[in-house]
């Protein structure tokens, strides 16, 4: 599936329509397709690329919505003559110009280097393991596809969009809060008022917020040893002093070492990573 400007690969994860749309946009921005010039008809381009005509039509429609193309009645699609007005012009630098000392040394400017911390590495092919001892993943075979599809369908209705598309400012989704308050948390023995429930994007986000609220450079945070690596990293970049606390076959050992800590992070139910309780 090729064209002098476009080369589509059915083996890629991106759909043919997405590939075509991206390649046309890149060709316009690179000025390979002149401004205000006509594009091939959807029928002609589909035949050249050996793809469905509807694929080309959808790509053109998206490019029209994105401002790359304009439609002229009884004439077809043309490159928007104004598409490059707001583009950034990059000045080419002559090869003989001395650029030493001009580029900033970003390595020196960084106050933190989180990438140098030790992180948990999960193998990409974990599903091929007989016993993948990792967390935070789920078996796709157990995914509730039908229920998920039904929920997605319900939430793209006009009344639903008007509800969730609004900016609720400091409030989280009230229906989600209600489900957490009445169904999820009580089953785990957690009793909280709705105003005490805060939605985060994940565990690390929640821990980061807590660290910002509870820790400073003078704080000492106790963490289990061995324990959750991300907690240690989050505490370190705030920054705070991290104090390892030993665990045994029942979890965290309660000792005088805790007295020196301003706060302690522990996993009392199924300790991480030993899973003891």
Residues 214-249, buried b or exposed e (16+ Cβ, 10 A)? ebeeebebbbbeebbebbbbbbbebebbbbebebee
pLDDT in the model for residue 174: 85
pLDDT in the model for residue 94: 57
Residue 90 pLDDT more than 60? no
Length of the chain: 277
pLDDT mean over 137-163: 89
Confidence of residue 277 (pLDDT cuts 50, 70, 90): confident
Residue 92 pLDDT more than 60? no
16-79 is classed in which CATH architecture? Answer: Orthogonal Bundle (1.10)
| pLDDT digits 0-9 by tens, 235-261 | 888 888 999 999 999 899 999 999 999
Cα separation, 181 vs 201, in Å, equals 18
pLDDT in the model for residue 188: 86
Which residues lie below 8 Å from residue 87, measured CB to CB, with a gap of 6+?
29
- Return contacts of 258-262, CB within 8 angstroms, 24+ apart: 258/222, 260/220, 260/222, 261/220, 261/221, 261/222, 262/214, 262/215, 262/219, 262/220, 262/221
The model's pTM is 0.60
Give first-to-last CA distance, the chain, whole Å.
58
Residue 223 pLDDT more than 80? yes
Q: How far is CA 170 from the centre of its chain?
A: 22
Task: Please state the domain extents for the chain.
Answer: 16-79, 169-199, 203-265
| pLDDT digits 0-9 by tens, 163-179 | 888 877 778 888 889 99
| pLDDT digits 0-9 by tens, 180-222 | 999 999 998 899 999 999 999 988 899 999 999 999 989 999 9
| pLDDT digits 0-9 by tens, 10-22 | 888 889 999 999 9
CB 226 within 8 A of CB 253: no
Residue 124 pLDDT more than 90? no
pLDDT mean over 43-67: 93
Confidence of residue 43 (pLDDT cuts 50, 70, 90): very high
172 C-beta neighbours (distance < 10 Å), count: 14
Structure-model confidence comparison of residues 134 and 100, the more confident one: 134
Give the chain's mean pLDDT: 87
pLDDT mean over 65-88: 87
């Amino acid at each position: 599936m090729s064209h002098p400007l476009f080369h589509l690969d059915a083996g890629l994860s991106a759909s043919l329509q997405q590939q075509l749309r991206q390649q046309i946009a890149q060709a316009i921005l690179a000025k390979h397709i002149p401004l205000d010039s006509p594009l091939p008809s959807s029928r002609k381009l589909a035949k050249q690329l050996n793809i469905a005509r509807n694929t080309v039509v959808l790509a053109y429609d998206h490019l029209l919505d994105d401002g790359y193309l304009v439609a002229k009645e009884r004439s077809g699609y043309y490159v928007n003559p104004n598409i490059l007005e707001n583009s950034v012009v990059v000045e080419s630098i002559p090869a003989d110009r001395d650029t030493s000392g001009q580029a900033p040394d970003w390595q020196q400017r960084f106050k933190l280097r989180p990438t140098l911390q030790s992180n948990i590495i999960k193998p990409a092919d974990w599903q091929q393991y007989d016993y993948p001892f990792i967390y935070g993943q789920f078996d796709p075979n157990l995914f509730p596809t039908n229920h998920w599809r039904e929920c997605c369908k319900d939430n793209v209705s006009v009344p639903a969009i008007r509800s969730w598309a609004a900016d609720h400012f400091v409030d989280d989704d009230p229906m989600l809060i209600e489900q957490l308050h009445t169904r999820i948390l009580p089953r785990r023995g957690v009793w909280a008022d709705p105003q005490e429930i805060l939605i985060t994007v994940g565990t690390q986000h929640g821990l980061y917020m807590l660290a910002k609220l509870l820790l400073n450079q003078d704080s000492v945070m106790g963490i289990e040893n061995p324990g959750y690596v991300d907690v240690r990293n989050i505490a370190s970049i705030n920054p705070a002093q991290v104090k390892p606390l030993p665990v045994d076959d029942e979890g965290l050992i309660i000792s005088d070492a805790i007295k020196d800590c301003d706060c302690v992070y522990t996993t009392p139910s199924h300790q991480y990573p030993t899973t003891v309780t």
